Structure 1
Amino acid sequence: MSDNNFVNGQSYEPLRRLLSDSKIQELQTQIRVNSNIEETNWNEQTIKLQDLEQSSWQPKLLIAIDGDYSKSIIQNGYPGAEIGYITVSTVVILLEKVRELEKEQFVDPKKFRETEQPTSIDSLFVGCNVVLQGEDCAKSSMRKILYDELKKVQIFGETETMLDTYEYLLKERVASGRPSKCPHDNCNADYEFNIGEYKCNTCNGKLYSTDALRLHELLNSSGTSGEMYGQIKETFKKLQLIHLLRSFEQQPKYFSLLRDIAFFIEGTLAVFSTASWLAKPIRTELERLNTKVTEEFGSNLIILGIERTGSFVNHFSQIDVMQNGSNNNFPNQSAFLIANKYIKEHIVFNEHPEYVYLEDTSFGRKIFYKTKVGHRVVASIATYNNYQSNLETAFPAQFPRLVEILQLLDKLVSNRYENSVTPLATAHAEAAIPLNLGKSIFDKIAREIRANSNNK
């Protein structure tokens, strides 16, 4: 064995692996093992679709929201200079047109594509070592871009912008918020919540209402800012949902469409990281909007989050396999309504008696559902009052429009993307390769749906 091998470290690899194995074995003796694993008779634990009172309701529109981001190094004379490209796609599927096409013996692919109307928000955000003209650092540049981007998004020509939607939600944060620091590096004052652009009373530095999201704190000044881009994408998705709902409300002639729309958003119905405070005002706003829709039309909103990956998806896959290795332990067309106790014992370990899963950051409840053809779906259903969101219990009445949702999932689960639904598969494809940037589709669609309704 040559001395060079010792120098470059190669001769230590087998020893390093043995050391690693022994350390793993030692650690495993100290790790607590889930003692709750046992064969479960899921026929007894689940709600069967056939046992629920069936519904004849069919949505006219499906609206799906998904996003994507990528990052790229740019050449500006500084090392590691990076920009992030973020896309949030909203796809509207015209189900009445789909149902008409399904009556034909041969469906024209061109006509079928016309039933899907996509639009995208695309934004460029700066990262490490990228500074805009007139700004003094990458962080201030990113803050300006975030504020400006929200001003650009608008659903209908006469309704509020996404910035207006955000600033409406911000008001509750102002009323009950904990102070954060001024974003300027040379200032230790508390951040002063306000609307629009304004100045810090201490350092006179420029502030924006969007600084309250604190997303600029995720910018890595010496490396890649993937976490920041990902959290901007997720924040935009949640804001887009509320922006859509409020925009329909602000157009009285289109407000009635909300009773005939099912909204889908990729991922769980929760807000994480620095913008997690948004969850509370989102819950409050959803309750207000849902109350108005229920009073006028007699039905709750349908808002679903669909998870494609993560601990819940993995757990659902595990419990669908029997201990003898055979599949289909979980019955088709059955739903398991998940309570906090089950989450703590089986999915997210926590023995603290007062711990409630995502108590402060979510605005929905999770279910496991296995469709008629055997596809597994982890879905979050939006909740609109304290009873529905109480995770200590899991009754069907706590999951708004459960029957319609299960019936809808039976029809929409996608073969293209595992654990997803067709509208989100389309939205994901549009977000990955946006072909309809900034294209306004909602005025046209709303007019068309309303005209068809009046002609019936």
Structure 2
Amino acid sequence: MPFENEFASYEPLRRILDNEKVQQLQDRLKVRAIEHDDETISEEITEKSQVEPSEYQPDMVLAIDGSYQAVKVENGFPGAEIGYVTVASVLILLEKIRELEREEFIDPKQFRETEKAATIDAVFPGCNVIVDDEDSAKSSMRRILFDELKNHIVFSEGETLLDTYEALLKIKLEQKSTPSRCPHDNCDAEFTYDYGEYQCPACGGKLYSSDAMRLHELMNPVGSNGEMYGQIMQTLEKLWLIHILRAFEKKGWLMTLRRVAFMMDGPLAVFSTSSWLTKAIIIELHRLNELAKKFTKQDLILLGIEKTGTFVNHFEDLDTTKEGVADKFPKQAALLLHDEYIKKNIIFSESLKPYGKDTYFGRKFFYKTSLGYKIVPSVAFFNEYQQNLTTARPNQFTRLADVMSLLDQVVSSRYKNAVTPLVSAHAEASIPLNLGRRIFEDIAREIREQS
């Protein structure tokens, strides 16, 4: 580790590059074989004009994005910190935006009224932070996580976020219930996950239904906990999505969803210790989608948008010629990805298990918009055929034509690989102007009035 204000010279860099071991390792590296030339790629591309749109197009987008920040606290213990996590929901009224775009001059006040935002916020203990009568920072974090799930709710009446989570936990326990180890220090007893708050049969310590996500296992007891806060944030984002959909079901408002598209920052996936939620989410989304289709006659639109990463980098490569000239990929066209292509060209793997089998509830594709912007979306699947990654046919990507049209409308020229609803949602999550305000009911009312 360097000293403060110390910078490396060029000599160590030269020594590394000339090192014999580095050169030997380079000689052993597996190099991707370029199996897809321009002609092959063009054959696999799906033009927007080749797919049929649905009868109803979404004119509202509900974007969900989160943010977290580690904050040092003064409690007498070194390295003590808390994690501040926010999740923002922003409703974008596309129809009002289209009306304003027809005017010569757009009134900024009217444009601001095309967005309705709400945020939920939570603070989680990190290293050396103990609350109430808990005996460790890990126990404190487990307690706070359970309380936060119990305290957040979309509508003033209805199920809590904890109820939504426990509905997913029920799916897990009904499918497979394996014993787990007590999370309390000095206790290694086995127990079976349950609902609500209960006790360890051996040590009598408090246990919570939220322990099944095992997010407390990510806690670093001697340093910063950025990874844990990040995973909490991403997990809350996915739970919030299901929470909103279930709330609309209980209100009898599923018919209104024909006009709403949902967007999330990042892929449609749950990683790390809470990845088991993926299978439960797939089952729950299938149930909710089938209920909504009875009224809407079409699938829901649930999108994840990736701004960075290996898929984004690969799309950049596909769009660039060997001479380094960009804009090779055709506009208003998509490359639909299947398992073989992903493993041979993006994420090397010789595994027989399909890519993302245990973590994804959506599948990815590349799309270049009408203005030439490149987007890497993932779209939720609702049945085994859509989920089957051995093939990549247009009808395996939910409402592909509608998604293409939507991306043409909401792509952002302000940021690379971004869409405007998520830009707004991230701004709300990063700077929570509506912190503590329960205005999601206003958002829901707006959806109802527009329907």
Aligned to 1:92, the other structure's residue is in SS state strand
Q: Does the Cα contact within 8 Å between 1:182 and 1:192 map onto a contact in 2?
A: no
Correspondent of 1:18 among 8, 15, 18: 15
Counterpart residue identity of residue 423, structure 2: A
The one-character-per-residue Cα deviations of 1:326-383 (angstroms, maximum 9, x if unpaired) are 211211110011000000000110123x131110111001010000111000000000
Displacement of 1:55 in angstroms is 4.5
| C-alpha distance 361-448 of structure 1, shift in aligned 2 (>3 A) | closer
**440, 443, 446: which one aligns with 1:442:** 440
Name the CA distance, whole Å, in 1 between partners of 2:439 and 2:8: 63
Separation in 2, partners of 1:303, 1:45: 24
Distance 1:337-1:13 versus aligned 2 partners, 3 A rule: closer
Q: Is the 8 A contact 2:257 2:296 kept in 1?
A: no
TM-score by length of 1: 0.93
1:249 aligns with 2:246: no
2:376 to 375, 378, 381: 378
1:88 corresponds to which residue?
Answer: 87
SS in 1 for 2:190: coil
Q: Cα offset for 1:10?
A: 11
Q: Which runs of 5+ in 2 are unaligned?
A: 1-5
8 A Cα contact 1:39 1:323, kept in partner: no
Q: 1:15 & 1:168 partners in 2: Cα distance?
A: 56
Which residues of 2 match residues 30-69 of structure 1 at below 5 A?
A: 30-36=28-34, 39-41=37-39, 42-55=41-54, 57-69=56-68
What letter corresponds to residue 184 of structure 2 in structure 1?
H
Q: Runs of 5+ in structure 1 lacking a partner? A: 1-8
Instruction: Give the SS at the match of 1:29.
Output: helix
CA distance in 1, matches of 2:290, 2:56: 19
Query: Compared with structure 1, are the counterparts of its residues 116 and 15 closer, same or farther at alpha carbon in structure 2 (3 Å cutoff)?
Result: closer
What's the offset of the Cα at 1:73? Answer: 1.6
Alpha-carbon contact 1:39-1:322 (below 8 Å) kept: no
After TM superposition, give the deviation of residue 294 of structure 1 in Å.
1.3
SS at 2:275 equivalent: helix
Distance 1:205 1:417 in 2: 49
- Counterpart of 2:267? 268
Distance change (3 Å), C-alpha of 1:299 and 1:29: same
Could you say if the C-alpha distance between residues 19 and 293 of structure 1 is closer, same or farther in structure 2, counting changes exceeding 3 Å?
A: closer
Q: Secondary structure at the match of 1:444?
A: helix
Aligned to 1:366: 364
Which residue is 1:333 aligned to? 332
Alignment of 1:38-437 (within 5 A): 39-41=37-39, 42-55=41-54, 57-175=56-174, 176-252=176-252, 254-352=253-351, 354-437=352-435
Distance 2:69 2:412 in 1: 25
1:70 Cα offset (Å): 0.9
Match of 1:5 in 2: none
Note the C-alpha offset of 1:299: 0.5
State the 1:31 CA deviation. Answer: 0.8
AA aligned to 2:90 is: V
Instruction: Return the offset for 1:449.
Output: 3.8
Instruction: Confirm or deny: 8 A CA contact 2:151 2:161 kept in the other structure.
Output: yes
Q: 2:3 maps to which residue? A: none
Deviations 1:381-436 (A, max 9, x none): 00001110000000111111111000100111111221111100000111111111
Q: Which amino acid aligns with 2:244?
A: L
Alpha-carbon distance, 1:13 to partner: 8.1
1:192–1:200 contact (8 Å) kept in structure 2: no
How far, CA to CA, are the matches of 1:404 and 1:214 in structure 2? Answer: 38
Deviation at 1:15, TM superposition (A): 6.4
| Secondary structure of residue in 2 paired with 1:70 | strand
1:409 to 1:451, Cα distance in 2 relative to 1, 3 A? closer
2:414 and 2:402 map into 1 onto residues whose CA distance is 23
- Residue 309 of structure 1 deviates from its aligned partner by 0.6
Q: How far apart, CA to CA, are the structure 1 residues paired with 2:417 and 2:342?
A: 19
Contact 2:54 2:399 in 1 (8 A): no
1:194 Cα offset (Å): 0.9
Paired with 2:444 and 2:126, the residues of 1 have a C-alpha distance of 38
CA contact 2:180–2:190 (8 Å) conserved in 1: yes
Kept in 2: contact 1:183–1:191 (CA 8 A): no
Shift of 1:235: 0.2
In structure 2, C-alpha distance between the alignment counterparts of 1:46 and 1:190, rounded to whole Å: 52
Give the AA of the match of 2:374.
R
In structure 2, give the amino acid aligned to 1:36: I
* 341-350 vs 179-188, which moves further: 179-188
Q: How far did residue 303 of structure 1 move?
A: 0.1
Q: For structure 1, which segment, 334-343 or 106-115, has the greater mean C-alpha deviation from structure 2 after superposition?
A: 106-115
Instruction: Call closer, same or farther: CA 1:338–1:157 in 2, change over 3 Å.
Output: same
CA 1:111–1:13: 2 relative to 1, 3 Å: closer
